[in-house]
Amino acid sequence: MTFLFARCRITKAITLNVKYFFPKANRINMQTLKKHKPLVSIILPTYNRENYLKRSVDSVLNQTYKNWELIIVDDGSTDDTLSLVKSYLNKFSNIRYFFHENRGAAYSMNIGMENGKGDYFTFLGSDDEYLANHLKLRIEYLAAHLNLDLLHSPAKIIGDEFVKDKYDLTKKIHLDECTLGGTLFGKAEVFKKLNGFKEVNYSPESEFIERAEKTYKIEKLNSRTYIYHRDTPDGICNNI
């Protein structure tokens, strides 16, 4: 799932129900994070994705750019997600895990951003993946274009390339006409100043972009390094 989409127009505080899992074997994690600040916070919301999550996390570990942290936010999974995540938490100091009752993708992404330490925020669907140079290309592009605040891009699509149009659910549009939530990459301050994502029926990311474009500079980067798996049976856009 790469979250939700919108027709492309461009070319909450943490509650007591949120739990942070921190294995005894790796308590050095917090000390390491305090000493070494990541440039990029990758926020990965997930719900019952034990069969796909490894592919997503491994694609982050395989990035050529290494100064990142991965924040996995579990939206109340009832499968064996935690056991899978534990295997990573015990090995990698820059991976963190939060759990809360089922509240939806927007809430989960906001929890991730509230806990992110990076100067940039980006996202990854729990059944999607990055190509190895995904982060590197975006960091280099923003470094060369200091006037930009946010990037998004098309993706390599596995499966159906058409989704329902946000503005008319009786019609379908090609994904290249959309803003893909998983491809958003931008300055953390922008996401924070706009108070993150709102709970809407369809496409919280597009609603965010519509607010952001009124104030900030956004560009569509022609780089298909995000792999969007539309072939997941219970993907969000397959059930609308």
**Predicted confidence (pLDDT) per residue in 170-225, tens digit:** 899 989 888 899 999 999 999 999 999 998 877 888 899 999 999 999 999 999 99
CB contact at 8 A, 28 and 93: yes
The structure's pTM equals 0.86
> For 93-143, what is each residue's pLDDT tens digit?
999 999 999 999 999 999 999 999 999 999 999 999 999 999 999 999 999
CA angle 32–226–156, rounded 5-degree value: 165
pLDDT of residue 168: 86
Confidence category of residue 23, pLDDT binned at 50, 70, 90: low
pLDDT of residue 183: 97
pLDDT of residue 34: 59
Tell how strand 68-74 and strand 95-99 pair up. Answer: parallel
Contacts of residue 217, defined as CB under 8 A and 6 or more positions apart, other chains included, come to 147, 148, 149, 150
pLDDT of residue 166: 79
Is 2's pLDDT higher than 70?
A: no
Q: Comparing 121 with 239, which gets the higher pLDDT?
A: 121
pLDDT of residue 24: 52
Q: Look at residue 14 and tell me if it is in a domain.
A: no
Chain mean pLDDT for the chain: 87
Q: Look at residue 4 and tell me if it is in a domain.
A: no
Q: Choose from 8-12, 147-151, 160-164 the range with maximum mean pLDDT.
A: 147-151
What does DSSP assign to residue 210? H
pLDDT of residue 4: 39
Q: Look at residue 164 and tell me if it is in a domain.
A: yes
Query: What CATH number is attached to the domain comprising 41?
Result: 3.90.550.10
Lowest-pLDDT range of 40-49, 72-81, 166-175: 166-175
CB contact at 8 A, 117 and 37: yes
B/e letters for 51-74, b = 16+ CB within 10 Å, e = fewer, are ebbeebbebbeebebeebbbbbbb
Q: Look at residue 9 and tell me if it is in a domain.
A: no
Confidence category of residue 66, pLDDT binned at 50, 70, 90: very high
Q: Look at residue 165 and tell me if it is in a domain.
A: yes
Contacts of residue 53, defined as CB under 8 A and 6 or more positions apart, other chains included, come to 46, 72, 81, 84, 85, 126, 127
C-alpha to C-alpha distance for 231 and 32, rounded to whole angstroms: 38
- Report the number of distinct structural domains present in the chain: 1
Residue with tokens 């919108």: 6
pLDDT of residue 10: 26
Domain that holds residue 149: 19-239
Tell how strand 185-187 and strand 150-152 pair up. Answer: antiparallel
pLDDT of residue 232: 78
